[in-house]
Structure 1
Amino acid sequence: MANSTPSASDYKGIVGPLRHRCSHCQVAGPKLLRCNGCLAVRYCSREHQAAHWPKHKSACSKIKKARTKLAEEDHAIRNATEDFMTPANAFESHVGHFWGMINTRDYMRARMALAMKLLQQATLGSVSEAYEHMRDMLRLNRSDNMGIRDMVPALMLRLDLDQECYDFVKWWATCDPDGRYDWGNMDLPHLDLHGADVFEKPDFLLVKHSDLNSLVALLLLNLKLLVDIHKLKITRKILSRTRLPTELRNKIELAVIRSPLSTKLQKEAPGSLLQTESTLMNHIRLLGAALNETNGQFMFNLFDPDEALCSRPEAYSRGSWEEMAYSIQHSYAAWWEMEGVLDLLKDARMCAARDSEDEIEDIMGTETFRSSAGPNRTAKELLEDMSVNRIWGYLDYATENACYLGPWSERPSEQHTRVSKENWARAEEEDDEEWSDDEDEVVF
């Protein structure tokens, strides 16, 4: 990630949780050497650091310059000459009001620039530091004129701060219900929500004009927990064929899940776990529907994100392509790193496409389609659209498939499709028979 403008591949690193890794060979370990220049990447040896230097040199230099610039702006604020517009030291007198004063804006821009350069490295250390910068910038500037709250939830999910993510999103969605919250009053509570119920119905986001980035974060969080349940179910199926001690079984189950919230799920009995799975799937459908309504382009671009990841829109409006592009850029690394989530959605889409194939010809023959879609719309394009639009209705199929251990041809979704086609064929035969009987009864 040495370029100032990231490419699509920069968002697609190693799938799985962020860990300290050698930036040259990607081996993970607790005792790695840290680059003294940028403090953002690590190496397992001096040799690997030297080998990686040609790739890292540009990024290292930019991060060092960004740190120097931030230090200069920090010094300027702490040693400012006081006048009627400028405090002597805003860090002591104006915490919460940064950006509201002209002399703090260069500092905030410099800090954001450093955070963004750190994020481009995609290491545990760089993402963690960028997250800490952004959280502290929210402390300094409560009203968040820079849109930091749009980026923080995805960073929390990447760092497995899942409870914190839910609390953060819910606080922003509920802190100002009547539009009277005084952002300038430092005595009011700020980001003080802790331990909210992650499994509650997300009604606070199921509203008109819901925030796109918040919907994306909670959808991904729920999918993350759902995948953990799938892992638990599969692990238990496999372990049921062994005679391992209970203590060892528990350790194996804890090793396969990712979210810290899933440690509670691991303790649930099978019946309770199924109920939690059903709850999560209902919430996912609600959030997915709200996401489609808020910005109908997000899910299409989630499956094909490269154009959105490489774009640099200057502004956006609600529901626009540009809004989607920003949201994809904020969250795609989290989607990519969350093992099993994109695979689950791709399988749901594949199931939807397979069951929708027989409808394409009929739909393309309708006057409504011909007048609205135009002659250039192909059957393949229509099927792609239908499969994305119907993805949440096929989440059940994908979930059953995810917990299945048998041959591909006998996957639950394959069985469902066969039964569906058999029932459809039977219904058509019965209709033909009834039509034939009606013709026999006609009297001239």
Structure 2
Amino acid sequence: MVSASAYKGPVGPLRHRCAQCPATGVKLLRCTGCLAVRYCSREHQVAHRPQHKSACTKIRKARAKLAEEDHRVRNATPDFFTPANAFETSVGHFWGILDTRDYMRARFALAVEHLLRLGTLDGVQESLEHMRDMLRLGRSDNLGVRDIAPAAMLRLDQDQECYDFVKWWATCDPDGLYDWGDMTLPHLNIRGADVLEKPDFLIGKFCALNHVVAVLLLKLKLLVDIRNLKVARKILAHRLIPPELWEPIELAAVRSPLSAKLFQKQDLESLVKTEMTLLNQIRQLGAAVVEANKGFMFSLFDPDEALEARPHSYSAGSWEEMALALQNSYATFHETEGVLPFLEDARACAARDSQNEIADTIAEAESYGFRSDEDAGRRRTAEEMLEDLSVNRIWGYLDYAVENAVYLGPWSERPSERHTRENRESWAQALAEDAEFEEAWGDSDSE
């Protein structure tokens, strides 16, 4: 069983890191056994050996298995069912040839079950290379590589490539007539699609959960970058820093290559407009995630059980589908600075605004005898209700989190705190007016 901690490495871009200490750099030594873990010295490699031995052995065995299957396909004796060297004669059709399926399974195991889950820069890069080539060899993608690759691209900051990939799969077969066996048809040929366009093409009755999650995460990544740019500009405006230093500082404040391309030259007014566009699209995508699988957002905030599960099959909307989608994307959420804290803040804002409502709901239920001692054990607590409500309402409070993200003053005066105070005052006023109304009508009835 893979531990949930395997999905929770260092926050920030993937870098070559020593597995034993914080050292980073391209000159780190690479483990010759697995080729996917690095060390700053021989001493640290020896010290880390007890922790690394199992994964290293599994990767070496997976590579040996793949090499064995590769040799078998290349040297197959041709017959009615088996082509000679399918790597030259049957590109695009691999899954349709029975004798190549063990090869594809062995490559999937190495790429996804071992290299990707290792979580190192070398591991994720090699895993994505395998997945891209598997899609070249077998266009129909019977192993579901297309569900896993987008989040891996985001981990490597291949954000435009991720968006192009998802858009192709969402739009390649609008009428269900695409011939996956025709190698002359366009395949994964979208380049430079507009990441700020409306996500309508991705959302529908049978939308792909993994792809919606990937685009949601990409747009959250861009939103956080806009926040960082706005904060950087606020700070720079109050410091005596030469203008020629502003650009490199702003570039250092963003994570996505797309942000440097799209946002860095925008003035504040344009940046705010783009921010609102992204915010509205994120709400739309968030609602689509909830529609596709109601459990995903709950497990995103409490992921360990789903990350450690190993479902063998799933149906649309099921817990098993959610667990697999979370395993494909959680490391990306975790590594992308600011995204999970942003969602947590929106959830906290929703919780604060929902407390009075839940308290009143429970009080009203008790006043009607719906929470008697004998059925209290079957009813949910206020804390459980608040937990659910805060997740369900998170998309309606993203604007609070956006305002908080660029606020640099005292915590008690954050925009969300002010909004909550205003909402509570409005709630109290509404209750007082209701009480006055009931009292007035009660007096009138008695007369």
Shared fold, TM over 0.5: yes
Q: Matched residues in 2 for 1:205 and 1:388: separation?
A: 23
Q: Specify the SS of the correspondent of 1:216.
A: helix
| Greater shift in the superposed pair: 384-393 or 40-49 | 40-49
Tell me the CA shift for residue 335 of structure 1.
Answer: 0.6
Deviation string 1:347-392 (CA, Å, 9 cap, x unpaired) is 111110111011113434458x98x998332211111110000000
Q: Matched residues in 2 for 1:319 and 1:429: separation?
A: 43
Q: What is aligned with 2:219? A: 222
Tell me the CA shift for residue 428 of structure 1.
Answer: 3.2
* 1:349–1:78 Cα change, 3 Å: same
1:428 partner amino acid: L
Are 1:8 and 2:4 matched, yes or no? yes
Q: Specify the SS of the correspondent of 2:408.
A: coil
Deviation string 1:184-212 (CA, Å, 9 cap, x unpaired) is 00000000001000000000112111110
Q: Specify the SS of the correspondent of 1:120.
A: helix
Deviation string 1:48-106 (CA, Å, 9 cap, x unpaired) is 11111121112111111111111111111111111111111000100000111111011
* 1:414–1:140 Cα change, 3 Å: same
Tell me the CA shift for residue 434 of structure 1.
Answer: 4.8
Are 1:379 and 2:382 matched, yes or no? yes
Tell me the CA shift for residue 439 of structure 1.
Answer: 6.1
Q: Matched residues in 2 for 1:346 and 1:277: separation?
A: 19
Q: What is aligned with 2:141? A: 144
Q: Matched residues in 1 for 2:376 and 2:93: separation?
A: 51
Q: What is aligned with 2:356? A: 358
Are 1:43 and 2:39 matched, yes or no? yes
Q: Matched residues in 2 for 1:441 and 1:145: separation?
A: 73
Deviation string 1:297-355 (CA, Å, 9 cap, x unpaired) is 00000000111011111110000001001101111100110111000111111110111
Q: Matched residues in 2 for 1:350 and 1:289: separation?
A: 18
Q: Matched residues in 1 for 2:406 and 2:376: separation?
A: 39
Q: Matched residues in 2 for 1:80 and 1:174: separation?
A: 37
* 1:26–1:121 Cα change, 3 Å: farther
Q: Matched residues in 2 for 1:127 and 1:389: separation?
A: 33
The count of corresponding residues between Structure 1 and Structure 2 is: 440
Q: What is aligned with 1:402? A: 405
* Runs (4+) off by over 2 Å: 361-367, 372-376, 423-444
Tell me the CA shift for residue 120 of structure 1.
Answer: 2.2
CA RMSD of aligned residues (A): 2.0
Gaps of 5+ in 1: none
Gaps of 5+ in 2: none
Are 1:346 and 2:351 matched, yes or no? no
Q: Specify the SS of the correspondent of 2:94.
A: coil
2:66 partner amino acid: L
Q: Matched residues in 1 for 2:376 and 2:328: separation?
A: 32
Q: What is aligned with 1:256? A: 253
Q: Matched residues in 2 for 1:441 and 1:88: separation?
A: 95
* 1:153–1:53 Cα change, 3 Å: same
Please list, as runs of the form range in 1=range in 2, the aligned pairs for 1:237-316 lying within 5 A after superposition.
237-263=234-260, 264-316=262-314
| Greater shift in the superposed pair: 432-441 or 235-244 | 432-441
Q: Matched residues in 1 for 2:149 and 2:332: separation?
A: 11
Please list, as runs of the form range in 1=range in 2, the aligned pairs for 1:322-333 lying within 5 A after superposition.
322-333=320-331
Q: Specify the SS of the correspondent of 2:225.
A: helix
Q: What is aligned with 1:200? A: 197
Tell me the CA shift for residue 425 of structure 1.
Answer: 2.2
Tell me the CA shift for residue 247 of structure 1.
Answer: 1.9
* Identity fraction in percent: 67
Tell me the CA shift for residue 238 of structure 1.
Answer: 0.8
Tell me the CA shift for residue 436 of structure 1.
Answer: 5.0
In the superposition, the TM-score normalised over structure 1's length comes to 0.95
1:429 to 429, 432, 435: 432
* 1:242–1:106 Cα change, 3 Å: same
Please list, as runs of the form range in 1=range in 2, the aligned pairs for 1:14-53 lying within 5 A after superposition.
14-53=10-49
2:380 partner amino acid: R
Deviation string 1:275-299 (CA, Å, 9 cap, x unpaired) is 0000000000000011101100000
Q: Matched residues in 2 for 1:337 and 1:401: separation?
A: 21
Q: What is aligned with 2:117? A: 120
1:420 partner amino acid: N
Q: Matched residues in 2 for 1:376 and 1:425: separation?
A: 26
